[in-house]
Amino acid sequence: MADLQTTHICGAIQAKWVALFSFLILPIFSTASTSWFHAKSPIPGSMREFSVEIRQDTVALYKGSHRLAPSSQAGQTYFAERFSLNAQYTGSDTNFSWNAVLILREALGANVVPEPVWTSVIRGGVGENEWSLIKFFQSPLQVEFHSPIYGDGFHELESSAIPEELLWPLAIRLLQHPQELHLRVMASQWELPYVRRIYAVSAAVTNQHLRIDEVDATLVRFERDDGAVAEVWVSTQGFRYLRMKTFRGMWLERIQ
């Protein structure tokens, strides 16, 4: 009986991982813009330094299921933007890795906020792994997660909420179309273990300007209802990320 139970549990976990990776299959046709950042993060114990890769590219998704397609197929797929972050750290007392993928549709009409389709995060560290998959194309939006703390779970959230990772591409759109926004934003899925929480966030382009590595930049500022502030410095020409600070206090400086 114990062997049958173990087999059932392992099969259920494997099925969940297969479901997640069916969304993450890499298309073979897309081209990417890749940037590298030097990050400093206040992980408990001390400040850690490591590199973060940010990739942006265009991908095809199947209509209906919204899974990544290996190629564009007339009448069966549509194009979307993929925004992904990757990082890995190995130290004497801890190690961790992140892979976060955010799929977006272009904002329509006067709406400057792009429409999230789905986002997935895989976190690993100190012998533990966790992941979350949030489907924004369903209403109310659906969250699936596997956590060493909370186990396997599923729940629904208000459909107006957006992932924190979306604030970075939103910063560029705000600089192109300045306005003040009031948003409902989830807690970060890639810096911290999964937390079921939504914050009220105000967003605006500021009058603060700075030259970073001989490039003119403007600050786009996000403030949460608990007082935490995130910053994104964007070049005024070319609209590139130059420097960012997350709500939790991680700093990222562009190096390539």
Q: Please, which residues have CB within 8 angstroms of residue 97's CB and are 6 or more apart in sequence?
A: 87, 88, 89, 122, 123, 124, 125
The DSSP element (H or E) to which 180 belongs, if any, is: none
Interval 49-60: pLDDT, tens:
999 999 999 999
Say whether 32 sits in a helix, a strand or coil: strand
Measured CA to CA, the distance from residue 83 to residue 99 in angstroms comes to 11
Calculate mean pLDDT across residues 233-244: 92
| Phi, psi (deg, nearest 5) at residue 128 | -115, 150
* CB-CB contact of 229 with 220 (8 Å): no
Cis peptide before 116 (omega within 30 of 0): no
Q: Which pLDDT score is estimated for 181?
A: 95
* CB-CB contact of 63 with 77 (8 Å): yes
**Residue listed under structure tokens 């929480």:** 197
Q: Please, which residues have CB within 8 angstroms of residue 238's CB and are 6 or more apart in sequence?
A: none
Measured CA to CA, the distance from residue 219 to residue 158 in angstroms comes to 29
Burial of 134 per CB tally in 10 Å (0-12, 13-18, 19+): buried
Measured CA to CA, the distance from residue 185 to residue 226 in angstroms comes to 12
* CB-CB contact of 193 with 171 (8 Å): no
Residue length of the chain: 256
Measured CA to CA, the distance from residue 239 to residue 35 in angstroms comes to 13
The full set of domain ranges for the chain reads 2-254
Interval 62-117: pLDDT, tens:
998 999 999 889 899 999 999 999 998 887 777 888 899 999 987 666 678 989 99
Calculate mean pLDDT across residues 149-169: 85
Interval 112-145: pLDDT, tens:
898 999 999 998 876 678 888 999 988 888 889 8
Say whether 63 sits in a helix, a strand or coil: coil
Q: Which pLDDT score is estimated for 44?
A: 63
